[in-house]
Amino acid sequence: MAGGLIDDRSLLERIRRGDAGGAEELFERYAPALLRFASRMLSDRETAEEVTQEVFVKVISRAHQYDGRAAVSSWLFAIAANACRDRKRHDRRATIVPLEAVGDLSASGEGADARLESRQRRAAVRQALASLSDEQREALVLARYHGLPYAEISKVLGISVGAVKTRIFRAVETLKARFSEGERSWNAAN
Partner 1 sequence: MECRELTDYAVDRLLGEAAAPERDELERHLAGCGSCSRELAALEETWGELGTDRDDPVTPEFRVRTLELLEDEMSRRRIREFHPRKRALRIFAQAAALAVAAAAGFLVAARGGFPARPVSAGSPLEPAAGANTAPDLAVNPRLSNVAYRTEPDGRVGIEFDSTTRHSVLGRPEDPQISRLLAYLLSLNVQTAGEKSRAIELVSGHSGPGAAEASPDVVSALGATLKRDRNPGVRKKAAEALASFRSTPEIRAALLDALASDPNPGVRLVAVEALAASAKETPDPKTIQSLREKAFDPQENGFVRARAASALKAIDL
Q: Which positions touch partner 1 (CB under 8 A)? A: 15, 18-20, 23-24, 27, 31-32, 35-36, 39-40, 45, 47-50, 52-54, 56-57, 60-61, 86-87, 89-92, 103, 105, 118, 121-122, 125-126, 129, 143-145, 149-150, 165, 168-169, 172-173, 175-176, 179-180
CB of 53 to partner 1, least distance (A): 5
CB of 140 to partner 1, least distance (A): 8
Whose Cβ is closer to partner 1: residue 68's or residue 176's?
176
Whose Cβ is closer to partner 1: residue 86's or residue 100's?
86
Whose Cβ is closer to partner 1: residue 69's or residue 92's?
92
CB of 128 to partner 1, least distance (A): 8
CB of 92 to partner 1, least distance (A): 6
DSSP 3: S
Whose Cβ is closer to partner 1: residue 69's or residue 90's?
90
Q: Quote the CA–CA distance of 28 and 124 in Å, as a whole number.
A: 30
Q: Torsion angle, CA of 55/170/146/24, rounded to 10 degrees? A: 0
CB of 170 to partner 1, least distance (A): 9
Q: SS3 for 185?
A: helix
Q: How far is CA 94 from the centre of its chain?
A: 14
Q: Measuring CA to CA, which residue among 2, 167, 159, 165 is closest to residue 76?
A: 2
**Residue 51: CB partners within 8 Å, gap ≥ 6?**
38, 42, 80, 83, 84, 87
Whose Cβ is closer to partner 1: residue 13's or residue 24's?
24
Q: Measuring CA to CA, which residue among 75, 101, 86 is closest to residue 157?
A: 75
Whose Cβ is closer to partner 1: residue 12's or residue 35's?
35
CB of 163 to partner 1, least distance (A): 14
Contact 93, 68 (CB under 8 A): no
Contact 138, 42 (CB under 8 A): no
